[in-house]
Amino acid sequence: MTDLLSKFDPYIAEHKGLLDTGVNDPFGVVMTKVLSPTRAVINGRETILVGTYNYMGMTFDEDVIAAGKKALEEFGAGSTGSRVLNGTFAPHIAVEQALKDFYGTKSAIVFSTGYQANLGMVSTLAGKGDYIVLDADSHASIYDGCKLGNAEVVRFRHNNVEDLDKRLGRLPAEAGKLVILEGVYSMLGDIAPLTEMVAVAKKHNAMTLVDEAHAMGFFGKHGRGVYEEQGLESEVDFVVGTFSKSVGTVGGFAVSNHPKFEILRLVCNPYRFTASLPPAVAATAEASIRKLMTAQAKRDNLWAVSRKLHAGLKAAGFRMATETPESAIIAVLLPDQVSTVAMWHQLLEHGIYCNMSRPPATPAGIFLLRCSLSAAHTLADVDVIVSRFVQARESLATMKAA
Ligand X SMILES: Cc1ncc(COP(=O)(O)O)c(C=O)c1O
Q: What order do you get walking across the sheet with 31-36 strand by strand?
A: 31-36, 39-42, 45-49, 352-353
Amino acid at 79: S
With respect to ligand X, which residue has the nearer C-beta, 211 or 326? 211
118 binds ligand X (CB under 6 A): yes
| Residue 186 interacts with ligand X (CB under 6 A): yes or no | yes
Cα 38 to the center of its chain, rounded Å: 18
Say whether 330 sits in a helix, a strand or coil.
Answer: strand
- Among 147-155, 271-279, 344-352, 367-375, which window interacts with other proteins (CB under 8 A)? 147-155
Torsion sign across C-alpha atoms 290, 295, 298, 304:
positive
CB of 182 to ligand X, least distance (A): 5
Q: How many CB atoms within 10 Å of residue 234?
A: 6
The mark string for 311-350 relative to other proteins (x by CB under 8 A, - otherwise) is ----------------------------------------
Does 249 interact with ligand X (rule: CB under 6 A)?
A: no
Q: Tell me the window of 40-48, 108-116, 322-330, 379-387 that interacts with ligand X (CB under 6 A).
A: 108-116
Phi, psi dihedral angles at 34 (to 5 degrees): -110, 115
Residue of 41, 337, 363, 393 that binds other proteins (CB under 8 A): 363
Instruction: Name residues contacting ligand X, limited to 252-271 (CB under 6 A).
Output: 252
Q: Give the range of 163-171, 196-204, 231-239, 295-303 binding other proteins by CB under 8 A.
A: 163-171
Query: Strand, coil or helix: what is 83?
Result: coil
Q: Is 139 in the site for ligand X (CB under 6 A)?
A: yes
Alpha-carbon distance 315 to 300, whole Å?
22
Q: Does 125 contact other proteins by CB under 8 A?
A: no
Contacts of 246 (CB under 8 A, 6+ apart): 53, 55, 56, 58, 216, 217, 218, 292
The stretch among 59-67, 107-115, 305-313, 362-370 that binds ligand X (CB under 6 A) is: 107-115
Binding site for other proteins (CB under 8 A): 136, 146, 152-157, 163, 166-167, 170-171, 359-360, 363-365
